[in-house]
Amino acid sequence: MDVVPVPPFGDFATAKRFHHLLLLHIARLKQRGDPVGLHQFLLGQAIGLHGPGSGGQGECAECRQPGPCRTALLIALLTRLPVPWTPGSLATVLTATRLWPGSEREVIEKDRLEWGDPVQADPRYRAERTPQTGRWTVRTYERGALRDSRHVEGDAQLCDLLISHALAIVFPYGWKIDSGLAEAVDAGAGHAQSWWSAQAHLPYLGAWSQQGAWEAGP
């Protein structure tokens, strides 16, 4: 079975392969037999811009950041592209792309990680592994005091926790929205629906309906 390469990359070919696998992953995040979804299609269009530029070492063509850029990496993490992360390799790219809260004075060691706000006005996190069991203890500090302590069973579970700290609550979710704003954008919803209805029936998208990573239900 092919394996998704682990960032960072040292050459164009590896960066391009990662980008193609991410786009394929996004396209397959549906049930077999279902049509391609509008939001799925739009996400692929956006991430398609953030592939490696030609003639370099894999830098993002859009951001000029080392690939994958923070946009592509965030989507890879949240959609759970199956990169064989270790806590250390994941922490390294989260730091490099500034997807971790704090983005300074991180500690990345084999059995110890620290990230977050170094002055603890916002949470600061410390994860330490017990070599005998492989379990991690994750402690949260805030304003000079220990606020929380929990155990994480292994590396995979810690990686899930690290990824959760990259998730942002973006507008408009959780916001109170003025009705005038909704009316302003809803004027385009009908046009979008008409465009997508025609687009979704084009042969190249219609043929993809039989592709998907999720089995059809009973």
Residue spans of the domains in the chain: they are 1-83, 85-173
Statement: residue 47 has pLDDT above 60: yes
Residue 36 in this model has a pLDDT that exceeds 90: yes
**Residue among 122, 113, 98 at smallest CA distance from 158:** 113
What's the pTM?
0.91
On the question of pLDDT at 185 being above 70, the answer is yes
Q: Is 195 a residue whose pLDDT tops 70?
A: yes
pLDDT for 104 equals 66
pLDDT band at 57 (very low <50, low <70, confident <90, very high): confident
Residue 82 and residue 18 in contact, taking contact as beta carbons nearer than 8 Å: no
Mean pLDDT of 62-80: 94
For residue 218, what pLDDT is reported?
Answer: 55
pLDDT band at 102 (very low <50, low <70, confident <90, very high): low
Three-state DSSP at 175 gives coil
With a pLDDT cut of 70, the percent of the chain lying above it is 95
- H or E element that contains 185: helix 179-186
pLDDT of residue 143: 85
Which amino acid would we find at residue 38?
A: L
In this prediction, residues 70-94 reach a mean pLDDT of: 96
| Residue 68 scores a pLDDT above 80 | yes
Residue 174 pLDDT > 70: yes
107-115 long-range Cβ contacts below 8 angstroms, 24+ apart: 113/87, 113/88, 113/162, 115/91, 115/165
What are φ and ψ of residue 193, in 5° steps?
A: -65, -40
Task: Tell me the pLDDT tens digit for each residue of 16-33.
Answer: 999 999 999 999 999 999
- What pLDDT, on the 0 to 100 scale, is given for residue 74? 97
CB 73 within 8 A of CB 83: no
